[in-house]
Structures are given as C-alpha cells and as structure tokens.
Structure 1
Amino acid sequence: MTAPGESKRGPVVQDWVLALVVAVIQLGGGRNANLRQTGVHTIDALGYVLLLVGPVALLLRRSYPLPVLLVTIASCVVYLLRGYGYGPIFVSLVIAFISAAIVGSRWWTYPLAPIGYLALVWPLPAIVGHPANPWLAFGMIAWLGVLVAIAEGIRQRQAVLVARRQRAEAARRDAEAQRERRASEERLAIARELHDVLAHSLSLINVQSSVALELFDKKPQQARSALAAIKTASKDALAEVHTLLHSIRNGSSPPDAQDVRESGAERASESAIGHRDSERAQDNSTVHINGAAEARPPAPRSPAPSIEDLDALLQRARAAGLTVDTRIIGTAHKLPSVVDVAAARIIQESLTNVVRHAPGAPAAVTVRYAADSVEITIDNARASTPQSKSGTSGGNGILGMRERAHALGGQLIAGPRPSGGFRVVARLPSRVGAPEEAQ
C-alpha cells in the first residue's frame, strides 16, 4: 500500500522533471532557432527569462491550470513582440493548454486557442511588423485543431475512468448493503426461531409449575402429573434448542431465513445438515472421564414441527391443561417445508399466547386447505379468570408470526373478537416459488 506522503510526492516530482525538461528544450532550442533566423532580435537576458517563465509556471499547472495557461500565453506574446525568433517556446504553452483543458472548464479553455492564434501567429504579429510565413499560419491552424482534439480525447477518457470507478464503488456499496441485509435477516430469523422454540415450552412450564405449587400439598398426584409435564416440556425444549444450534454451527439458517424461492434446494440442504450432524455425533460419541473412555449419548434431535399431524403438534399444549379443538377443511395436501414449519410455529405461538394471557380459556384451531393457499385460524374464548397484571407482557409473538407470514408472501391478522376472546388468522401460499416436485 502506498503511503499518503508517497502518493502526494509522486505528482510533485513529475512536475519538477517536466518543468526541467521543458526549460532545457526551450532555452537550448530557442537559442539555436534564434541564431538560424534572420531579421530577429538577438536573445538577451529578457529573452532567456521569458523562455523560463513557461516551465516555471508549469510547476503550478495542477493547482492553478487556467492562470498558468494565461501566464504562458503572455510570455509567448511578449517574446514574439520583442522580435525574438519563432522556436520551442510554444512547448510550455501546449502543455499548459492541455492541462487546463483536462482539469478546468472547456468553455474557458478552448476559446483561448483561437485567441492565442490571433495574438501569436496572425494578424497581431503582422500588425506590429512581424508577419508570419503563410505556410506557418496555415500549419498552426491545423496544429491547434489537433491540440484541441487531443485535449478533448484525454478529457473524455478521464470521464470514462471516473464513471467506471463510480460504478465499481456503487457496486461495492450495494454488495456491502446486501451482505448486511442478509446478515440482519439471518439474525432476525435466528432470534425468531429461538423465541418460538423457547416461548412455547417455557410458557407451558410456567403454567404447570404454578399448578404443581398449588396442588403440591393438597393433591400430590396431580402435582406429580404437572411435574412430569414440566420434565417432558423442558426435555423437548432442550432438544429443539440443541437442533437449532447444530444448524447454526453447520452454516445452515433457520427454515424461514432460507430463500423461500428455492424450496427444492432447501430440502437438499436439510438432508446435508442431517448428514453433517450425524458425522459430528459419531466423532463426539466418546468422552474421557478419569482417563476412561465412555460412550457419549447422541445429541438430542427433534423433528421440525408440522401441521400434518395436528394432534402431535398440540400434544404439549393439551398436556398443560389447555383444551384445544381442531378442524380441517378441504383436502389436506403436502406443503413445502418452509410453509409447513411456519404454519406450525404460528399455531404454537398462538396457543402460547392463550396460555399466557387467557389461562383456562378453550381454543380452537382450524386449518383450511385451498388450491394455492392454506389458512390457519386460532380462536380462543375469553378467560374464565382475569389475568394477573404482574406477569410479563408486551412480547414479540405476534410480530414474529407476522414476519413469518410476510416472508413467505402471506399475511397474518390478529386481534380481539367481537364476541370476546382473541383470533389469529394466517394465510400462507401452498407453493413457494416454483412448485416442488411431487414426492
């Protein structure tokens, strides 16, 4: 990497070298040209100073391109008006003109070409008694045209290079924004998945622990059942968390974070994740305790939730004492895995909210299958006992359910029912992107 000081020093050195070369050319070439011409004024100290004005001015051509051009024009005009012969004094003028045309405005630079021609070639030299050769006057017109064309070509090339750099920078910023957006979506999906995995189980554990504490002395048998339900719910929650962490460690995303337009690829990635998890389980199948190798139990695995078997999906909620009725309308058909998981999570979260905010209220789950969509409705009646205000509230359950539905191109509506209670309605597409292959 070039240091800032070195990057600034490079152009300065180039300007000094250029000025030195132009000074040598103008001093030596001007003297020789003046000696070979007749009827011209012999170069004196002023002539040599005028020959050096242009090269010295070129040292500032990057910072002050237009003033440098005007200075070189003035030095050339004075040089010719003094009667010195034509020579390489025009070298500094050409360089100054190109620099000003590239860096500055063309509307201020290009008009100076014909003005310089009128002042240095014709007719001003002829008026003051120094007429130019007709062939020289005609040739200077051609050279001025070439000079303007060269300046415009360099200017256009620089504009193209600047546009390319701007496009590359814009593409880099867009790629960086895309990476940040994907990372944000991944974090959001992981947070949502952890919430859905833990909130449902912890809510049931909270309810059952309250029941166990209340009945521990009076009805120990029912308290035992509540504790057994707590054990089962906590075990299932640990298994689901472990499965989710395995997916994250192996570079996989939660189901709703994956590209829903590539559902076929998602199935392949899930099978690959399962294969990697099985290999890791084999590698970690032994653990050394006090120098002895003992078999390590396999990592707990939990299948992804599904609405294909509503009874199994609702088993935990019912074990916690929640009364849940189910109804299926239409012909059930296979759903893409991302849609199936999202529907199951929405049902679980809705029932978790019933347990939290309407304890003792019965609930009903309705699944309506259509040709291109599936609609899930979760209703619960008004709680039989008023909810205590000391509990936690203001969670992200409804927001997470709505994000799941929108990520798949569906919609979710949640709100109180006119007759009391609460209703959640989610409509999800039964196809995500291209239809999945028949299985």
Structure 2
Amino acid sequence: MDVTSKMRAGRAWLQGPERWTRAALLKDCAMAAVLALLGMPLEEIEGGAWWRHTLSAVVVVLLTLLRRRLPAGTLVAGAVISGVLPGAFLVTILLAWSAGRRIVGVTRAVVAFTLTFALEVGVAVVTEWSNTRPLWIAVFVTLAFLATTLMPGLASRYWYQRRTLLHALQERNAQLMRERAMIAGQARLRERQRIAQDMHDSLGHQLALISVHTGALEVDPALTERQREAVGVLRQASVGAMHELREVVGILRDGVEAPVAAEDTVQPAARGVAGIGGVVEAARAAGTEVRLTVTGATRPLAPACDHAAYRIVQEALTNAYKHAPGAAITVELRYEDDSLVVEIANGPAAAERPDGVVSGGQGLTGLRERARLVGGMVHAGPVEGGGFRVAGVLPYGAEPAGAQGPEPDDFGQLAVRVSGATAPMDWAAVDRELAVGRHGRSPGGGVALGCGIAFAAAVLLLIAVVALIALMASSADEAYLTREEYDRVQVGQSEKEVRKAVPSGDSIMTSGLDRKGPPKPAGASCLALLDPEDDTDLAKDRVFRFCFKDGKLVEKQTYEVDAG
C-alpha cells in the first residue's frame, strides 16, 4: 500500500461515518488554533517556554480532529491534558459538545462524563496541591466542569436527539404520504371504473338506438332529399358520439384511449384545431349559418391545448344552437405571437327559444377549467345588440396550472411531491404526527425536559457561584491582620495566646500562602494572613506568617507574594 492510500485510509478512519471535506478539515484546524490561543494564560504567553506553547497547540488540534472517531476517549483525554498543558482548557467545551451527540447509549455517556469529572478533579488536586486546599480545588473544578463540560454535553445531546426524532418523523410522514397516495389512487381508479361502466351501459345503449333508428330512417323512400341529409347528419353525429364515448370510457377505466375496433368503418372524429372545420360543416349542414375565419401563421399546439380549442368551439356552437336558434355564428381562429385566440360569437336569436331545452349549466365552467389547466383562459358574456361571445386564449405550449402553484386534489387538499410521486399534503396530519413523540409523548414534553435539564444545570451553577461568593465574603474577616496586630505578637508567646489574638486564617484567600514564602522552620506549622492596608502594588500581596513549634511561636515573617 503506497503512502497516498495510507493517507486516504487514515483520513477515512478519522472522519468515521460522517462526510469530511477539505473545508471541514480547515475549519477544524482553525477552530482548534483559536481555542488554543484563547485558552492560553497571559503570563504563559509572555514568559512561558515555546515548546509548551507548541505542544499545547498540537494536542488541541489532535483532540479536535479525533473527536469524531473517539468522542469518549478525547473527552477523557481532554480532562487530563487541560489540567497539565496551558491553552488546552477551552477545548473541553468542543469535546463535550461532540461527545454529547456522538456517544451511543446513556450508560456510556454517563460513565464518560463521570470519569471526566473525576480525572479533572484528580489532576487539579495533584497539580495545585501546594498552592491551595483540596476542598477549594474541588469546588473550582466542579464549577468549571458544569460550565465547560456538562452543560455543553447535555445541550448537544438534547439537540441531536431532537433533530434525529424530527428526521424520523419526517421520514415516517413521507411514507404515510406515499401510502395515502396509493390508497387515493386506487379509490379514484375504482370510482372511474364505476363511472365508465355506468356511461357505457346507459349512454352507449341510447346512442346505439339513435344510430340504428336514424340509419333506418335515412333509407326510408318517403323522405325528401333534404330530410335524408338532415337524418344523415344525425346518424353521423350519433356514430361520432359513440366513438367519443368509447374513448372517454377507455380513459376513465384504464387511463388510455380505447382501441378502435377492426370492424368499425368510421374513424373517431378529430378533436383538435384540425377538427373545427368538420364541426362547422356539420353545423352548416344542419341549417345554421356559420362562418369560419383563420388569421395568422398556423402553428402547432400541444395536444392538451389543441383539444381545448376544439372543445371551446364545440361547446360554444352547442350553446348557440340551444339559446339562439337561427342566429348567425362566426368562428375565428387567430394565431398570435404567443397564443391562439379562439372566438365564437352569435347574433340575437332569430326565433323563440324552444321549450324543453336540456342544459346542464356546467359547460362554460368546464371550458374555463380546461383552459386554466393548460395555462390559458376563457371569457364568455353577452355583447351589444343581444348576441353572445365566447373567447379563449390558449398558449402554444401546454403550461400546467400546477407549475404556478399547488392545486387541490380530489379531497380538497394541497399536493406535495414526495419521492417523485404526487402525494396529498395533509397539514393537520403533519401537525398531529409531529405532536407525537416516542412512547406517545409529545415534543412539547421533550422540549420541557431539555429546557428543564439546562435550567437545572444553570441553577446549580448559579447556586455554586453564589455559595462561593458568600463563603469568601464570610471568611474574609478570618484572612486579614493589621500591621499593629502583627507587631503586638512576640516570638516566644504560646501558640494558644497567639491564635486568640489573631484571626484563624480559615479562608480561601489565605490558602497556600504559608508555603509561598521563605522556608519554614523544621517541624513547624505556620499560619499565614494578609495585610488589608497593603495598596502600594496591586500585583503583590503582603503576607504575615506565624510559625509554631512545640506549642510556642518560634518565628514570624513578613513577605510579599503575587496577587491572585
């Protein structure tokens, strides 16, 4: 295996199951450098050894890069290293955030964070044993652990689990959408088959009777030539209606046009712009004055638009027959630059409207919907002089109305595209789905739980800080000794007398001060106190130290130490 393959394999191991791009690598390195720089103490930057700075930066970068593959291991290692190397303190925030979401299992996470806490306390006690008391070390480390490790880990784990739950709910919702779309499609298919069967059984029978009777009447010798032509028009219309009914029934039943039977000698009527001339000729043969004009350069239309133009002319002529019998009709097709304009107008009725004319009242509504579905429009209304006009504007290329926005489906709901299929989007169902979490609990409960954990951690941290401040304030009187009191104490006095005359020194502010001054007498125990009036140098503190041996004061010293 060559070097390149080894590097590629190592990078794949580092990134684990997550995708790790070059930009992500640079981002991690930059973030590690910033954390190392911000976590470096000022005195370490000014006077520390360069090798410690370099080692700290390298360790922080390594921990940052390894946190994806070894979340628990890097968290524990960060707890140890942050107490030894300067600049590695802030990386525990990043490691805790990463470990909170990547450690699998609650037990493992609890063990990892508990071990981290124990190691942080242990390392701090060992490294700072000579400077302060172990109790105060434990208090400070506990506060730091809450702020920089526990709270980021809890927040990360809650955020990641909530995101995972929402993703699972979305996947489940998409699956339910697909299943519902399949059920709705099956229901529509069954209903279409029922409608197709009803149409075939009722209309097919009636049209067949009309065709047979008009065919017999056409050869009746008692009819005049003009009557035979009118009967022939009726027979051709009934035969064409039967063919169109067969096509519609086929589309309703199977979604495709029904095949033309071999024994059929009459082909189905053309149902496009090319068939408009036939419709006009049929109207003329029936005795209606119809004039057809075509202007502009003929252009091909999409099939849906072509059929819509035919239906507009057909429906407008039918309305003119029924509501304005005997009126002259003009049909105009205008090929504009971007659309086809179909206009049908008739004058006032030449005769009274016959009684018993059947009208469904949905013809113009259907035309408007048909035109809208292909991106066009239809206008209908009366004109001056008592006539009526129907005009449709149709684009040359079909532009489904769905492209402009979601349309209601059969159930009056919006449709959404899911995995390549159109599925109804039931927003109420989505809200109900997202309102149900695992084991029947709602995300509201999860939000309350996550917020409760964060609030409890914040309250605990606040209580600890307040308690620490109160403890320091209450013990401040035991940490200070004035110069006059110091001068009144003489070497050789009994330890009991001296301790009664001076404060006890039981304060965090005096912890470790007795070990920072000159060497203590052999076998002696010392008490260190602070001078409250020392304001000459804010960076230094004056210390009064009393050393006792065999129940007597054997030495008292005054010296200065670095403040803080």
TM bin, normalised by shorter chain, reads 0.3 to 0.5
Instruction: Indicate the structure whose relative CO is greater, using CA pairs within 8 Å and at least 6 residues apart.
Output: 1
If each structure's helix is expressed as a fraction of its own residues, which one has the higher value? 1
TM-score (normalizing by structure 2): 0.37
TM-score (normalizing by structure 1): 0.47
